[in-house]
Structure 1
Amino acid sequence: MSGYLAGLECSRCTAYYPGDSARALCECGSTLLARYDLAGIRKAVTPADIARRAPTMWRYRELLPVRDDAAIVTMGEGFTPMIPVPTAARELGVGELWVKDEGLNPTGTFKARGASASISRWRELGVTRFAQPTVGSGGHAWAAYGARAGVEIHTALPVSCPELGWKGSLSNGAHVYRVDGTVGDVFRILTEAAARYGWLPAGAGREPYRFEGKKTMGVEIIEQLGWDIPDAILYPTGGGVGIIGMWKVFDELEQLGWIGSERPRLVSVQVTGGAVVKAFHEGLEECRGAQHVNTIAPGIMVVKPFSDYLILRALRATKGWAVGVPDEESLHYMSWINRHEGLLLSPEGAATIAAVRRMVREGELGPTSRVVVFNTATGLRYPHLMDGPVPVILGSGTIDDAAVARASRAIGGATR
C-alpha cells in the first residue's frame, strides 16, 4: 500500500510541501500539518471496514502518514477503553462521564501513539537519530519505540521528574540527560545539541507526525460511541498535540462523510496559571507564557507551548473552554476516583476530573452533558503520590474483629 499522505501544509503561512519531503518545520519556522487524499480514502474504506480490523490505532491506517505497511513500528498502541464512571458523573453533576484510559498503552502513556506514528514515518524517510525533550513519559515512549525501530534516541528531562521516566528510557537504550532546570531549559539545551549533532528535534509541535498518532484518540472516541459525538472532551494540555490532532481529524472525518458538522467542545486542562488557560480567557491568539511552577502534574505545566496558536484556534473553533486546576484538587480526585471507581489516574488525568467539577460550577457543563475526559498515563508512574493508609500488620496470621476494626480505621472507616 502506498498510503494517502498528500503533503505537508504550514499552519501559519500555508506553504505546501510534497508528502515525501523530509521537513520537520516550515521555512517560516512554524508547525507543519499532514494533509491527505481524502477523496481517495473515501473510495477505499468505510467505518464498517474499520470495525473489522485489529483494535489498535493502525486500524485507521489510511489516515496515518506511513507509505509502506512494512515501515510501521507498533506495539499494539491505541484503541484504549472508554470507561464509564457513573458514580463520578453523579458526584460531579453531569449526565454521562467516560474516562479514555490512555494508561493502558505500551509504556503506560498516550505518548506511545505519537512515538509510533512519528518514528515509523521518519525512519521511512531515512531519519534515524532523534532529540526528545520530556517530563518523563514522552521520553520513555520514544525510547521504547526507538529500541523497537533500531534508531537512536536522545532524551532530556528536568531532575525533578519522577525517576520511572528516565530509568525506563535508560533501560530501553536511550541516551538520557537530566537537567538541573525547568522544562524550558530542557528544550533549549536539547535543541542546541540537536543542531550541533544532526539529531531531529522531535518535541511537541516541532514535527508533523506526532499529531497524526495523537489524532487517533479522537477517531476512537467517536467510533467507541457508535460514531456519535460527546458534548465535551477534556484534555490535559502540555504541548497540546492531542487537542490539535483531534481538532484536525474531526475535520477529516467530516470530509470523509463519517460524521457531520457538529463538534465536541474541546477543553484544555492545565495547572492553575497555565499559559493556554490565561491566553484563552484573555482573548489572545498566542500565549504570553507562564511562570514555571513546581507541580505534581508536570505534563500540564508548559511555560509556552510551541504550537500555542493552534491550541487556541482549536478551542475557539469548537466553542471550547480552558480550565486551570490547583495541585490539591488533582491530588484529591486522584484518590477519590481510585476509591470510588477503581481507576488509578495520573495527576494530569485527575486534573480533568477536577476540571469537570469547575465547569459544572461555572455553568459550562450540566446534568445532561455527555463528557469524555482523558487519563494520559497510568497512575503507577507516580508511586510517590500514592502515600495513604498503612495496611494492618498481623502478628499471628489471624484476621479477627480487632484487625478488621484497625483496617477500617486505616481507610477512614470506608468499608465498601
Structure 2
Amino acid sequence: MTNTDILTSHITHLECAVSKKKFSHLEIQTFSSNEEEGWKSPLYAKYGSLKNIDKSVLKDRVASLWRYFEFLPVLNQENIVSLGEGMTPFLKLDNLAKQLEIPNLYLKDESLNPTGSFKARGQAVAVSKMKELGIQRCIVPTAGNAGGALAAYCAKAKIDVTVVMPRHTPEIFKQECQYFGAELILVDGLISDCGKVVAEMRAKKEYFDVSTMKEPYRLEGKKTMGFEIAEQMNWELPDVIFYPTGGGTGLIGIWKAFHEMREAGWITGKVPKMIAVQTENCQPVVWSFEGKHESSAGYLAKPSVANGLAVPFPFAEKQILQVLKESGGFALSVTENELLDGVKSLAKREGLFVAPEGGALLPAMKKAIQNKWISPDDKILLLNTGSGYKYAENFV
C-alpha cells in the first residue's frame, strides 16, 4: 500500500458463524444469539469478488498487515489507525532443527508487533473500524496483552477505553495501559471473572465491548497472520501449525485467511493441520476435543504463567473445535514446567525470548512427534504470540 493507492475493501456483509444469518457491516454489530436455542455465536466478515484480486497487487505495498486491504473490513483508508503492526519475522530454527532432527522447523515471531504481541493486529483493525463507525467509548476484559494493545490504539484514535484485568497480571501490563491513558480496573480472578465485571459495567453505562470474538473485527486483524505465513513461504503453506490457544481468535483467523486466499486463487493444494496448544492449568479446549466434558461452560481453571492461555471458557469454543476438525488437527496440553523449559530452550538455542504461550509450543511439538501424531519430516511452524520481556516478572 502506497500513498497513491486507491484501495477498495471487498467486504459485503457479516455472517453468523452458526445460523449463517447476514448482518450489515455498515452498522455497529457485536455477536449473534438465539435465546430459544440457548446459543451465542461470533460474526464473520464476508468478502465478495475475491477472484478479482491478484496477489501481484502486493508489489511495492507497505510491509504491514494493511497490505491486504482488500481482505479487511475498513472502507476508508483515512480511518486506518496504525502503529506499524504486521509483517513480523518468519524464522527458521536451525539450531533446534539440528538438535531435534527436524529438518523443517520454523517460527513466526509476533513479539515484534507494537506493544509486544499479536494482539496489536486485532486491535488495529477493531479500533480502525470503531473509528469508522463513530464509537467513542469501549471496554475489554483481558489477560494482559489485549488490554495493552487496545489502550495503545485507542490512544492513537482518541477513543476512551476501560481495561479490566486480573490483579495477578504482571505489572508491565498494568503500567502500559495507564501510560496509554486507559482506565484500569483490577479484579481478583481470571479473565472470565473480568468478563463478569465488564457485563456489570455495561449494564450501567454505554460501552462498546471488545471482548474476544464478541465483536467481528479483531478476528480480521488476526487473520493477517495467515496471509503473511503464505506470502513469507512463497505461497506454499506448512504441513502443521502449532498455535497457543486461549480465546482462539488467531487460530480461527488463520484458518479463515487460508479459505479466503484459496477462493482468491492465491494458494492451492492442502492446508496445514491446526494444533491448539494449552496448559494443563487451563485446558478446556483439550477436554472438549477429547470428550472429557460436553463444553467448557463449567470448567474450573487455575492461573498460569502464560496469562493468555488462562481462558476457562472461550466464547468461540465451537468455532475452535470446528477448525481442528476441518484441518485434521488436534488439541493438546503441556505442564507449566514444560512451557517454561520451552521458553529457556528457544532463548538458549535460538536467541529468542518468547512469551510463555510461545514456549508451550516446543514441548507440544515434541509430544506430537513422540506420539506419531505428526511426522518429524513435516514442515512445522510454531507461532509465538508475544515477547518474553513482558512476562519477566512471571519467570522469577
TM-score band (shorter)?
over 0.9
Q: Is the 8 A contact 1:201 1:207 kept in 2?
A: yes
2:97 matched residue in structure 1: 89
- Displacement of 1:386 in angstroms is 4.7
2:103 is equivalent to residue 102 of structure 1: no
CA distance in 2, matches of 1:255, 1:228: 15
2:317 matched residue in structure 1: 308
1:58 matched residue in structure 2: 66
Q: 2:16 aligns with which of 3, 10, 15?
A: 10
CA distance in 2, matches of 1:112, 1:289: 30
Q: Percent identity?
A: 35
CA distance in 2, matches of 1:26, 1:183: 22
1:399 matched residue in structure 2: none
CA distance in 1, matches of 2:101, 2:229: 21
* Secondary structure of the corresponding residue to residue 8 of structure 1: strand
- Displacement of 1:282 in angstroms is 1.6
Structure 1 vs Structure 2 CA RMSD: 1.5
The one-letter code matched in structure 2 to 1:31 is P
- Mapping 1:98-247, distance limit 5 Å: 98-247=106-255
CA distance in 1, matches of 2:208, 2:84: 25
Structure 1 unmatched ranges of 5 or more: 388-416
1:62-100 deviation line (CA, Å, top 9, x unaligned): 000000000000011000011110221233443311111
* Secondary structure of the corresponding residue to residue 91 of structure 2: strand
* Secondary structure of the corresponding residue to residue 324 of structure 1: strand
CA distance in 1, matches of 2:295, 2:81: 34
* Secondary structure of the corresponding residue to residue 382 of structure 1: helix
- Mapping 1:214-293, distance limit 5 Å: 214-272=222-280, 274-282=283-291, 286-293=295-302
2:295 is equivalent to residue 294 of structure 1: no
Distance change (3 Å), C-alpha of 1:306 and 1:370: same
The one-letter code matched in structure 1 to 2:368 is M
2:4 matched residue in structure 1: none
* Secondary structure of the corresponding residue to residue 235 of structure 1: strand
Q: Is the 8 A contact 2:252 2:323 kept in 1?
A: yes
- Displacement of 1:284 in angstroms is 7.2
Q: Is the 8 A contact 2:190 2:310 kept in 1?
A: no
CA distance in 2, matches of 1:309, 1:51: 37
Q: Is the 8 A contact 1:97 1:370 kept in 2?
A: yes
- Displacement of 1:309 in angstroms is 0.2
Distance change (3 Å), C-alpha of 1:254 and 1:2: closer
1:394 matched residue in structure 2: none
1:272-319 deviation line (CA, Å, top 9, x unaligned): 150001111228774354321121112112111001000000011000
The one-letter code matched in structure 2 to 1:184 is S
* Secondary structure of the corresponding residue to residue 41 of structure 2: coil
1:69 matched residue in structure 2: 77
CA distance in 1, matches of 2:319, 2:120: 22
CA distance in 1, matches of 2:124, 2:70: 15
Q: Higher mean Cα deviation, 222-231 or 27-36?
A: 27-36
1:361 matched residue in structure 2: 370
CA distance in 1, matches of 2:290, 2:233: 31
The one-letter code matched in structure 2 to 1:309 is K
- Displacement of 1:42 in angstroms is 2.9
Distance change (3 Å), C-alpha of 1:167 and 1:371: same
The one-letter code matched in structure 1 to 2:31 is L
Q: Is the 8 A contact 1:285 1:313 kept in 2?
A: no
Q: Is the 8 A contact 1:92 1:360 kept in 2?
A: no
- Mapping 1:13-28, distance limit 5 Å: 13-28=19-34
1:336 matched residue in structure 2: 345
1:408 matched residue in structure 2: none
2:37 matched residue in structure 1: none
CA distance in 2, matches of 1:195, 1:226: 49
The one-letter code matched in structure 2 to 1:212 is E
1:202-243 deviation line (CA, Å, top 9, x unaligned): 111101101100000011001100000101111111100001
- Structure 1 stretches of 4+ with a deviation exceeding 6 A read none
Q: Is the 8 A contact 2:190 2:303 kept in 1?
A: no
2:3 matched residue in structure 1: none
- Displacement of 1:19 in angstroms is 2.1
2:384 is equivalent to residue 384 of structure 1: no
- Displacement of 1:27 in angstroms is 4.5
- Displacement of 1:136 in angstroms is 1.1
Distance change (3 Å), C-alpha of 1:284 and 1:51: farther
2:41 is equivalent to residue 30 of structure 1: yes
Normalising by structure 1, report the TM-score.
0.89
Normalising by structure 2, report the TM-score.
0.94
- Displacement of 1:192 in angstroms is 1.9
* Secondary structure of the corresponding residue to residue 363 of structure 1: coil
The one-letter code matched in structure 1 to 2:349 is H
Distance change (3 Å), C-alpha of 1:364 and 1:92: farther
CA distance in 1, matches of 2:327, 2:342: 27
1:392 matched residue in structure 2: none
Distance change (3 Å), C-alpha of 1:188 and 1:77: same
Distance change (3 Å), C-alpha of 1:284 and 1:63: farther
1:158-201 deviation line (CA, Å, top 9, x unaligned): 11111111110000000100112222111111122123211011
